[in-house]
Each structure stands twice: as C-alpha cells, then as structure tokens.
Amino acid sequence: MKTISLSPSPLAPILGRLLLLLLLAWGSFSCQYSKLLKSDDVEEKYQAAVDYYDQKEYGKAMGLFEQLIPILRGGPRADEVNYYYAYCHYGLEDYVMAGYHFRSYAQTYAYSDKREECEFMSAYCYYLDAPRPSLDQGTTRNAMTELSLYMTHYPQSERTQQCDALMEDLTDRLAEKSYLAAKQYFNMDYFKSAMTAIASSLEQFPFTPHREELAFLLVKSHFLYAENSVQEKQAERYQAALKQFDNFILEFPDGQYSKEARRIQEGCLKHTQTASGG
C-alpha cells in the first residue's frame, strides 16, 4: 500500500512564532497590571486607570480606581475618581451598581458641574435594568420615580426630551404588564378577578394599544360571570354586562369585536327577559 507523507505547512513556523509573541505580550500586560495594583505611585496608578478607561478596559480601570478612591478621598481628584468609577460599572453593563454610584456621586458632590449628568445617569441605569413586561415591574416603577425626580430638579435640561421618551417606554411596559395580567385572569376563567383587573388597567392606562380588546373582555367577563352565577344573582349581573356593552359599543361601534359584543348583548337580553317572565 502506498504511503502518503504529509509535509508540514510552510506557514506553521510563522503561526507558531505569532502565537508565541501573543502569549508573551499577554503575559507582559498581565504582569504590568499586577505591578500597577501593587504600586504605591498614586500618579502612575491614576494615569494608568484613565488610560485603561479610555481603551474601554473597564474591568482593569475599575480595579485601579477602586484602590484610588480611599487614597484620594477629600482631595482635589476625589470627585473625578468616583465619576470614573461609576462609569466603569456602566461600561461593564452592571447597571445596578452603576446607578448606585452615580446617585452616590450626585449626593456627595452636590456642587459639582457633573451632578446633573450623574443624576440623569442614575435614572437611566434604572431604565436599562428594567425587565421585560412579563416580569415583575418594581424596577420599572423605580426608574419612573428617578426620571420624574430628575425632570423636577432640572426642568430646563437638554435631556428633557430624552426623559419623556424613556418615561413613555416605561409606561408602555407597565401597560403591557397590566394587560397580560388581566388577560390571564380571563383565560383562567377567573371572571370576577378579570373584571377588576381589566377595569383597573383601562383606568390606569387609557391610551393602551389594547384598549378595544380589554373593553370587549370586560363585557365578556361580566357576561360569563353572570352566566355562571346562581339564579337569583343572574338578572342583576346580566344588567351589569349590558351596561358594559353600552360603554363598549359607544366607543367602538364598528370595531374588531363589535359583532361578538352584539351577540353577547342578545344573550343578556334573552336571559333578562326570561327572568322577568317576558
């Protein structure tokens, strides 16, 4: 059988040398950073931290700034290292810690020209940390509180328009959460709870894009609640369903759900006429 010999690629020695150079460079940088962490030269450490920050190496910059904060506390550079430190957390997308340190900066350095920026960034970090609508919206409400406080403190700020857009987005998230919760009650056949949740959602978020659907589900929830009630309660509850129908059809006479709503109306009228002996 013929033996096939595989000769090494002419690029192999070059690639090997490149890999070695990369490993040596990495080791050198790692060693250099380790020396900086152990160094007592405050100026060298500060300049290196700023350089790492400018190069977007936020983890290394944060490690150095963390060491500098207690050393420079009370000095002319104290506010600057705390400012950088907050932005290092932001650069690493740790929005909880970034928001905390931006807020701390604004409270500690009340007369700094960066105070307004840090108050905004604190609120913005809450916004970035706010979850999707299907999850708990506690952080969303906190973000709205922080943005409202910022706009109250700085009504003439150039960021007002941005804040309005963020508030609108957060309100939409709360509206979506409210819609999903109300619809879940309906889908689980908890019609009494659905009635309360839907009415609350419509009151809190009158401009929700789900307004027509929710208004219809309110009609249907009342109807199904009446249908599943004991006989002596049905007439009163069918009347309540008819009242919700009147509200719905007044607002959405030719809407997506108007035909089904009219069928529900017919069902309610039939039951109330039967109950009254008509």
The answer as to whether 176 is a domain residue is no
Amino acid at 117: E
The answer as to whether 52 is a domain residue is no
pLDDT, residue 29, reads 53
Name the domain count of the chain: 1
| Helix ranges (DSSP H) in the chain | 12-38, 42-54, 58-72, 78-91, 95-108, 115-129, 138-153, 160-187, 191-204, 211-227, 231-251, 258-276
Sign of the C-alpha dihedral computed for residues 241, 179, 171 and 254 taken in this order: negative
The answer as to whether 250 is a domain residue is yes
The answer as to whether 58 is a domain residue is no
The answer as to whether 238 is a domain residue is yes
Residue range(s) defining the domain that contains residue 239? 210-278
pTM of the model: 0.78
CATH code, domain carrying 256:
1.20.58
pLDDT, residue 137, reads 81
The answer as to whether 272 is a domain residue is yes
What are the pLDDT tens digits along the chain (278 aa)? 455 444 555 555 555 555 555 554 444 456 788 888 888 889 999 999 999 999 999 999 999 999 999 999 999 999 999 999 999 999 999 999 999 999 999 999 999 999 999 999 999 999 999 888 877 788 999 999 999 999 999 999 999 999 999 999 999 999 999 999 999 999 999 999 999 999 999 999 999 999 999 999 999 999 999 999 999 999 999 999 999 999 999 999 999 999 999 999 999 999 887 655 55
The answer as to whether 158 is a domain residue is no
pLDDT, residue 19, reads 56
The answer as to whether 150 is a domain residue is no
